[in-house]
């Protein structure tokens, strides 16, 4: 069952055991996102964080391209003769794209993205906000905001400098430079670049590994890494101590101890 009350055109949602599979499905538009798709992604990822059956999220796109960004031509309410009030863009973003990236970063469920072809604008940000991005070595990654005459959105100016450094971030954001999948992997922007034909299999292997991992510990560690980007050492050490307290009381931790005694591999159940 989808977290959304109704299916959304352009987004396929499937619960496959411990895996929530989200597939952008607008190949004729290079999987450009609509208002409804963005809101549905927020709802699905948010719900996954509360669904104890979900241990990993797999996000990909149908066809040759992962995502060409937001489809401005499909924005609901964009037509008409009435000019919106000043500040309408800012107000809309607060409950729209500005919620999507934080939801991805804050959920304790690990997110794996598999991407070929184009990842542009918001599509690129989906890659950057995932925990593991497997991309084709010839993938084309671009943040073309200034080339279109407007500024970065949905966290691009926050994500890129932290992943690739200020100089490279400026090259992408200010100059609109395109980066290949191979270069993105070399820069540390994505987890791994492989041949396009191998992307799906490489991502599936990683999804399977996370689906069988110690889910509580993985989720808490994701939170620690994210918080560590904006906190000081004293607060980070306190957060680590709390996470250690919680994870050491999990069933998976007890299973690890039992497996070690019995000299076998642990069988983590994500509890």
3-state helix vs strand vs coil in the chain, percent to 5: 50, 15, 35
Q: What confidence tier does 1 reach under pLDDT thresholds 50, 70, 90? A: very low
Domain range enclosing 246: 215-262
pLDDT over 80 at 137, yes or no: yes
**pTM score, two decimals?**
0.91
Residues 223-260 pLDDT 10s: 999 999 999 999 999 999 999 999 999 999 999 999 99
Domain end among 188, 211, 234 = 211
Q: Which residue has the higher pLDDT, 221 or 147?
A: 221
Cα–Cα distance for residue pair 21/112, rounded to 1 Å? 10
Residue 201 sits in the same domain as residue 242: no
- Let me know if 196 is exposed, middle or buried by CB neighbors in 10 A (0-12, 13-18, 19+): middle
DSSP state of 269: -
Q: CA separation (Å) from 95 to 12, 31, 100, 101, 155?
A: 22, 21, 9, 12, 14
Domain end among 174, 194, 211 = 211
For the ranges 89-98, 170-179, 188-197, the lowest mean pLDDT is seen at 89-98
Residue 28 sits in the same domain as residue 115: yes
pLDDT over 90 at 261, yes or no: yes
pLDDT of residue 10: 97
Tell me what the pLDDT averaged over the chain comes to. Answer: 92
241: tokens are: 């101590």
Q: Cβ distance 77 to 38 under 8 Å? A: no
Q: What is the maximal distance between C-alpha atoms in the chain?
A: 73
pLDDT over 80 at 97, yes or no: no
H/E stretch holding 122 = helix 122-129
Residue at 37 is within a domain:
yes
pLDDT of residue 239: 97
Residue 85 sits in the same domain as residue 120: yes
Residue 75 sits in the same domain as residue 199: yes
């Amino acid at each position: 069952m989808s977290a959304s009350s109704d299916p959304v055109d352009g987004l396929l949602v499937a619960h496959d055991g411990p895996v929530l599979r989200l597939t952008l499905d607008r190949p004729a538009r290079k999987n450009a996102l609509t208002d409804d798709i963005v809101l549905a992604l927020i709802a699905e990822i948010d719900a996954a964080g509360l669904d104890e059956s979900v241990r990993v999220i797999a996000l990909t796109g149908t066809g040759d391209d992962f995502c060409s960004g937001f489809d401005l031509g499909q924005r609901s309410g964009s037509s008409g003769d009435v000019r919106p009030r000043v500040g309408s863009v800012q107000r809309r973003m607060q409950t729209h794209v500005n919620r999507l990236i934080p939801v991805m970063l804050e959920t304790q469920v690990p997110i794996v993205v598999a991407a070929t072809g184009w990842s542009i604008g918001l599509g690129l940000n989906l890659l950057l906000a995932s925990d593991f991005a497997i991309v084709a070595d010839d993938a084309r990654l671009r943040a073309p905001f200034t080339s279109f005459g407007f500024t970065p959105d949905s966290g691009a100016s926050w994500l890129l400098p932290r992943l690739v450094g200020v100089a490279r971030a400026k090259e992408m954001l200010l100059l609109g430079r395109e980066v290949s999948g191979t270069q993105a992997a070399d820069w540390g922007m994505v987890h791994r670049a492989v041949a396009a034909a191998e992307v799906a299999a490489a991502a599936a292997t990683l999804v399977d590994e996370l689906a069988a991992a110690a889910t509580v510990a993985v989720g808490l560690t994701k939170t620690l890494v994210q918080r560590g980007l904006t906190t000081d050492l004293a607060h980070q050490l306190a957060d680590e101590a709390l996470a250690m307290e919680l994870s050491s009381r999990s069933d998976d931790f007890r299973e690890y101890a039992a497996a070690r005694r019995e000299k076998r591999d642990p069988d983590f159940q994500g509890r």
